[in-house]
Amino acid sequence: MSEKYLLSSVKNAMKILRLFTHKQKELGITEISKKLNISKSSAHRLVSLLVKEGFLSKNPRTNKYRLGLSILTLGGVIFSNHELYKEALPIVKKLVHTLNESAHICLLEEDQVVYLFRIESSQPDRLLTYIGRKNPIHCTSEGLCILAYQNKRTIEKVLSKKLYAYTPYTITDPDILKNELKKIKKQGFAISKDQFYVGYVGIAAPIRDYSGKVVSSLSMIGSTARMTDDRFPVFIEHITQAAKSISEHLGYIDGK
């Protein structure tokens, strides 16, 4: 591949991303090729590459494309009002109203979990989970919940780094964490109690995109005085159901 051809491809790929606006949320291959004055085959090749890298995603209902998750973390910037999760916010708000604990939508950025959205409850807790904050993966339910569904290479990369013990209960043994990840994937949710903050518990469920890939998680974090063990089943039921509803908004069809 010549340098000139490569630069031209990169330039056109950037132009494709700039086509998407607040008013123009989705575009098809034909529309993209016409707007950029390039062939359909070139447009399809570039769009396929952008989808592969996560910068675009395909809406299975319309067969058109929209901005993907990688745009949200490009340069470490979080766009909290991004259209991708806009439809999910009423679901999260209803969850918070029902259980009265703060809820978050999170995603992975390299070896950390980053908070994309946060809906606060009426509880007085003020945890450090503001939008854009990055927390460790290995001791948070929201991070472990996403990691459990990633490929072996990603899991090995995260667990091969030094795992800091934030509390006396933080699990830092990679082998124990690998077994925990298998358990999370099998049961469909993650629970992290006293591992990042003593006296707090997080419960998270996976969120899938149109392809079925787990791209983010929905979590609730609260005091262990309120989120007691006997109430876990109630939280798990509501959180997993809400996560499934959000996945549907992202185009995921269960059993596809």
pLDDT at 8: 74
Highest mean pLDDT among 1-5, 106-110, 120-124, 152-156: 152-156
Contacts of residues 40-49 at CB distance under 8 Å and 24 or more positions apart, as own/partner, are 42/12, 43/16, 46/9, 46/12, 46/13, 46/16, 47/16, 49/13
**So what's the pLDDT on residue 4?**
57
pLDDT band of residue 188 (cuts 50, 70, 90) is very high
For the chain, what percent of residues have pLDDT higher than 70? 86
**What is the spatial distance between Cα 224 and Cα 197, in angstroms, rounded to a whole number?**
10
Q: Which residues contact 161 (CB under 8 A, 6 or more apart)?
A: 111
* pLDDT band with cut points at 50, 70 and 90 for residue 219: very high
Among residues 151, 92, 146, the alpha carbon closest in space to that of 114 is found at 146
Write the pLDDT tens digit of every residue in 16-60.
988 887 678 899 999 999 999 999 999 999 999 888 887 888 887
Distance of alpha carbon 191 from alpha carbon 140, whole angstroms: 8
Instruction: Work out the pLDDT band at 117, boundaries 50, 70, 90.
Output: confident
User: If residue 89 lies in a helix (H) or strand (E), which one and from where to where?
Assistant: helix 89-99
Domains, in order of start, for the chain: 3-67 (1.10.10.10), 79-249 (3.30.450.40)
